[in-house]
Amino acid sequence: MPAYYPASIEPKWQSYWEQHATFRTPDPDELKQAKPKYFILDMFPYPSGAGLHVGHPEGYTATDILARYKRMRGFNVLHPMGWDAFGLPAEQYAIETGTHPRETTQKNITTFRRQIKSLGFSYDWGREVDTTDPHYFKWTQWIFLTLYNTWFDDQANKGRPIEELPVPDDIVKQGEKAIARFRDQHRLVYETNAPVNWCPALGTVLANEEVIDGKSERGGHPVVRLPLRQWMMRITAYAGRLLDDLETLDWSHALKEMQRNWIGRSEGAEIDFAVTAHGKDSPKIQVFTTRPDTLFGATYMVLAPEHPLLSRITTPEQTEAVKTYQQQASFKSDLERTELAKTKTGVFTGAYAINPATNKQIPIWIADYVLSSYGTGAIMAVPGQDERDWEFAEKYQLPIIRTVQTPADFTGKAFTEDGPAINSDFLNGLHVTDAKQKMLAWLEEKQIGTRRINYKLRDWLFSRQRYWGEPFPLLHRLGADGEPDGIIEPLNPEDLPVTLPEMTDYKPSGKPEPPLGKATEWLTVQKNGHTYRRELNTMPQWAGSCWYYLRYIDPRNDKAFVDPAKERYWMPVDLYVGGAEHAVLHLLYARFWHKVLFDRGYLSTSEPFQKLINQGMILGEMEFHITPELYTENTTVLEAKNLLAVHIKNDEEDFYVIKNPPISAGSVPSNLSEDQTEKRKGMFFLKGTQLPLLGRSEKMSKSRGNVINPDDIVKAYGADSLRLYEMFMGPLEATKPWNTQGVEGVFRFLSRCWRLIVDESSEQVCLSPTVTDDAPDEETLRKLHQTIKKVTDDLEGMRFNTSISALMELSNHLARLEKKPRWAMKTLVLLLAPFAPHLAEELWQVLGHSSTLAYEAWPAFDPVLTVSSVMEIPVQINGKLRSKVTVPTGSTEEICKQAALDDDRIKELLAGKIIKKAIVVPGKLINFVISN
């Protein structure tokens, strides 16, 4: 009767853990004895209305297995969970239905929490955080102020308090406002007029990643670029450190590469070009180039349409054309101007500059493929060596001079590879690297150029014109006219948090202005005899996730965002697991904040996440299609009694039957199930035939209808099976297709473990009479030690799938035993515990224990017993092979010799003989030298 029935076991243990606070993590000062710490972190989810997806439990199960394993190994484990709960969907829903975003968010959190708890993860729920909770975002605002009050000292290469910023005397002389402005220009948080993506149809400003090909991701509405007052964070100041410190991290090469590419370090030079025909005070245009060696081939210059010098250098005849072009460019995003642009466009300014190497006049153009936000916003164009410049030169008939010798077989246009310099005077003959160095030295000597490192990384556009986000803790002082007078007053820490005003109307105003502007009472503040207006922007969703890992360390502290002693104990995060979609921005932003807090003395580590793993994506179930090419006119599809036969006439003509896919001739069936197929040499075939199939699985999505809901799996098979299956699918980091049959497979394995220990013939759950106190036999002993070693090594290496295989093998072995040694059963249960904790707890109880196994010691293995159990060794007498003996692998000389002496044949041959010498090479051979 008591078959394995997870629905009765799992809720029982979940409430046991909750009631006993089994996974409450003690603070370091509560520990009675010193313990090594292990901080294991999941990327916390955005609690969407759709509920948990099977992709979530993948990473959560991996970390949970390790958290449980580490506890059993004596670590003090910090394993928390929380909610990244600000965000656009709740606000859009509020606009549509009038439901307050807080309500929607809380409802979604409740669902997520229930779902996550139903999977039996060993989180310390007492440390749960919610980014929308004022007790939490009070500290997000506090950290914001810390960044606001920090400037970056290039010399010291670190952030320092704004009060320590040296203010030049002439500014001090100009008074309060000038000093304030000077400081504002140097803060890590600053204001600027930045172009934003404004979507009139949605009535909101969108983040770059919410705009696809010039249209809003939601609804596909046109998006225009508008300049708007924006808050920025000076992440670029930290570009060098964000790049260099990647070296110290235990992250995958691919992940580090993504970060490196995003930061995009470029080594090159800044070179000055003098503009002609402007008399003595002719302005200089500075360009950034990574190829100073090509200077002799710079036949024209291009400025970004926004370049500030344009108004000075453009000739009257060209002014109109330049203005029109500037306006057109202002509507385009950087992406549209560069990667998406089909052709290059530009306008001549009428002005010329001098190429400092050739002393020749070259025309100055503007073109939108040059971006104002990179380098100096101006380039020297070298069409011979740069493809973009070539295309432009060809279109506008500008001269092209090659400065690198092309190979004889080169037929292309711009030549971007290495080769000897030509047409370049003192550089001729030198290859690119040497030519660069020589040109740099020449430029420096003539004082027309300097070495320069640039980064692709842009400052972080930090403000959003939305309701459901953290308000900025800043006030704008109002002048007599009721308008901001330019003085900004940060709030004092004791005035935090600034909470959101209660509103009923979340509708956008139709203008790119923040909805908080409608909260008239909330936005005006009286302070020190002045009237202020609150900053109306809110923070982007990234803000809350920039530091949540620190709050878990000390979640209820209302004096500080984290207590320094606790921070020193827990940081850095030992393992961080999450999706690759956060491989760039979230990690860069969090590392940036962390470094600032470190510089300001609030943290003890300069990097937050020591080791990081990206779990692979889980795709929908495999679908199988008959290879479409096989549908020729010779293919006929016959229908008979619900069976479909596909008949193919070709050289290997055959007759195939497919079970009931409702297809018609010419259509491609895709609902073959996996058991109707077989895989040979990496290809899928219709089972038992030569008919090739295309096996494919797609991303899970609502529209494809292939989304798997974890709740359904838990209901049908239990949480332990879901956990085990997600780990058994393949390596954690691989992309894997879902397969419900696989869940059945692991369910059968767990049922077998159950039957090993539980007496199924009894009415109640009790120990099977086959479990005895007998000592395990030699083979079982070795199997156990080998499995302990395998599972331990695999857990350390995060190879969950292979450790599960080892447990399956062990259970098969144990199932074959008539009498099952209790010690073997205990070991199996302890090894299983991190993977299938509910079942393990239940079996542990059946084995006679009265409390949780969560802190039981992890089984140890004896290395001697882990090697393959026995081996044969040849036994010689006077060099002649006489017999073979079987000994345990790794046996000592003594044991080998004794085994040989005990061998019947050897005993016979040695009878009455004197052994002069016994040569024993353990594991290889035994040779007795005797006198005849």
Residue from 22, 290, 697, 740 binding ligand ANZ (CB under 6 A): 290
At 490, phi and psi to the nearest 5? -70, 145
Amino acid 336 reads E
Q: Spell out, one character per residue from 197 to 236, where the chain touches ligand ANZ: x when CB under 6 A holds, - when not.
A: ----------------------------------------
Buried b (16+ CB within 10 A) or exposed e, 548-575: bbbbbbbbeeeeebbbeebbebbbbbbb
Residue 356 as a binder of ligand ANZ (CB under 6 A): the answer is no
Residue 454 as a binder of ligand ANZ (CB under 6 A): the answer is yes
Least distance from ligand ANZ to the Cβ atom of residue 338, Å: 7
Residue from 289, 465, 811, 845 binding ligand ANZ (CB under 6 A): 289
Q: Which stretch binds ligand ANZ (CB under 6 A): 356-364, 373-381, 736-744, 834-842?
A: 373-381
Residue 458 as a binder of ligand ANZ (CB under 6 A): the answer is no
Least distance from ligand ANZ to the Cβ atom of residue 259, Å: 17
Least distance from ligand ANZ to the Cβ atom of residue 283, Å: 18
CB nearer to ligand ANZ: pick between 261 and 868: 261
CB nearer to ligand ANZ: pick between 65 and 347: 347
Least distance from ligand ANZ to the Cβ atom of residue 419, Å: 12
Least distance from ligand ANZ to the Cβ atom of residue 263, Å: 12
Residue 288 as a binder of ligand ANZ (CB under 6 A): the answer is yes
CA-to-CA distance for 321 and 677, rounded, in angstroms?
66
CB nearer to ligand ANZ: pick between 290 and 330: 290
**Within the chain, how many helices (H) and strands (E) appear?**
29, 41
Q: Which stretch binds ligand ANZ (CB under 6 A): 233-241, 370-378, 512-520, 764-772?
A: 370-378
CB nearer to ligand ANZ: pick between 10 and 386: 386
Buried b (16+ CB within 10 A) or exposed e, 512-534: bebbbebbeebbebeeeeeebbb
CB nearer to ligand ANZ: pick between 368 and 842: 368
Residue from 178, 341, 371, 716 binding ligand ANZ (CB under 6 A): 371
Per DSSP bridges, beta strands 378-381 and 300-303 are: antiparallel
Per DSSP bridges, beta strands 150-153 and 158-161 are: antiparallel
Least distance from ligand ANZ to the Cβ atom of residue 392, Å: 11
Buried b (16+ CB within 10 A) or exposed e, 886-900: ebbebbeeeebbebb
E strand or H helix at 624, and its extent?
Answer: strand 623-626
Least distance from ligand ANZ to the Cβ atom of residue 418, Å: 11
Note whether 383 and 397 are within 8 A (CB): no
CB nearer to ligand ANZ: pick between 144 and 374: 374
**What is the greatest pairwise CA distance in the chain?**
122
Residue 368 as a binder of ligand ANZ (CB under 6 A): the answer is no
CB nearer to ligand ANZ: pick between 385 and 538: 385
**Residues in 740-799 at the binding interface with ligand ANZ, rule: CB under 6 A:** none
Least distance from ligand ANZ to the Cβ atom of residue 262, Å: 13
**Residues in 847-876 at the binding interface with ligand ANZ, rule: CB under 6 A:** none
- The structure tokens 């299938």 sit at 836
Rounded-to-10 torsion of CA 462, 467, 468, 474? 50
CA-to-CA distance for 782 and 122, rounded, in angstroms?
32
**What secondary structure, in 3-state letters, does 304-319 show?**
CCCCCCHHHHCCHHHH
| DSSP symbol at 404 | B
Residue 241 as a binder of ligand ANZ (CB under 6 A): the answer is no
Q: How many other CB atoms are there within 10 angstroms of residue 366's CB atom?
A: 26
CA-to-CA distance for 650 and 664, rounded, in angstroms?
20
Least distance from ligand ANZ to the Cβ atom of residue 586, Å: 24
Q: How many other CB atoms are there within 10 angstroms of residue 640's CB atom?
A: 8
Listed in order, strand segments (DSSP E) in 388-529 are 449-455, 460-461, 474-478, 484-490, 524-527
- What residues pair up with 564 in beta bridges, in sequence order? none
**Residues in 654-693 at the binding interface with ligand ANZ, rule: CB under 6 A:** none
Residue 841 as a binder of ligand ANZ (CB under 6 A): the answer is no
Which sign does the torsion angle of CA 772, 777, 779, 782 carry?
Answer: positive
CA-to-CA distance for 258 and 764, rounded, in angstroms?
56
Rounded-to-10 torsion of CA 158, 164, 168, 173? 160
**Residues in 543-582 at the binding interface with ligand ANZ, rule: CB under 6 A:** none
Residue 421 as a binder of ligand ANZ (CB under 6 A): the answer is no
Residue 722 as a binder of ligand ANZ (CB under 6 A): the answer is no
Least distance from ligand ANZ to the Cβ atom of residue 368, Å: 9
CB nearer to ligand ANZ: pick between 388 and 551: 388
Which sign does the torsion angle of CA 147, 153, 154, 156 carry?
Answer: negative
Q: Which stretch binds ligand ANZ (CB under 6 A): 55-63, 341-349, 371-379, 565-573?
A: 371-379
Q: Spell out, one character per residue from 581 to 620, where the chain touches ligand ANZ: x when CB under 6 A holds, - when not.
A: ----------------------------------------
Least distance from ligand ANZ to the Cβ atom of residue 381, Å: 7
Least distance from ligand ANZ to the Cβ atom of residue 289, Å: 3
Least distance from ligand ANZ to the Cβ atom of residue 379, Å: 4
The distance of Cα 222 from the centroid of its chain, to the nearest Å, equals 30
Residue 523 as a binder of ligand ANZ (CB under 6 A): the answer is no
CB nearer to ligand ANZ: pick between 96 and 444: 444
Total interface residues for ligand ANZ by CB under 6 A? 18
Amino acid 464 reads R
Let me know if 30 is exposed, middle or buried by CB neighbors in 10 A (0-12, 13-18, 19+).
Answer: exposed
Distances, alpha carbon 546 to alpha carbons 7, 84, 157, 516, 609, in Å: 38, 10, 22, 24, 12
Note whether 789 and 861 are within 8 A (CB): yes
Residue 294 as a binder of ligand ANZ (CB under 6 A): the answer is yes
Q: Spell out, one character per residue from 375 to 394, where the chain touches ligand ANZ: x when CB under 6 A holds, - when not.
A: x-x-xx-x--xx--------
Least distance from ligand ANZ to the Cβ atom of residue 383, Å: 9
Residue 474 as a binder of ligand ANZ (CB under 6 A): the answer is no
**Residues in 248-267 at the binding interface with ligand ANZ, rule: CB under 6 A:** 266
Alpha helices for 277-428 (secondary structure H): 310-313, 316-330, 334-337, 387-396
Q: Which stretch binds ligand ANZ (CB under 6 A): 231-239, 351-359, 369-377, 614-622?
A: 369-377
| CA nearest neighbour of 620 among 737, 471, 748, 770 | 737
CB nearer to ligand ANZ: pick between 373 and 524: 373
Q: Which stretch binds ligand ANZ (CB under 6 A): 91-99, 366-374, 817-825, 924-932?
A: 366-374
Q: Which stretch binds ligand ANZ (CB under 6 A): 289-297, 440-448, 820-828, 840-848?
A: 289-297
What is the DSSP secondary-structure string of 641-682?
TTEEEEEE-STT-EEEEEE-----TT----B--GGGEEEETT
The distance of Cα 289 from the centroid of its chain, to the nearest Å, equals 32
Least distance from ligand ANZ to the Cβ atom of residue 297, Å: 8
Residue 286 as a binder of ligand ANZ (CB under 6 A): the answer is no
Residue 452 as a binder of ligand ANZ (CB under 6 A): the answer is no
Residue 355 as a binder of ligand ANZ (CB under 6 A): the answer is no
Residues near ligand ANZ (CB under 6 A) are 266, 288-291, 294, 304, 370-371, 374-375, 377, 379-380, 382, 385-386, 454
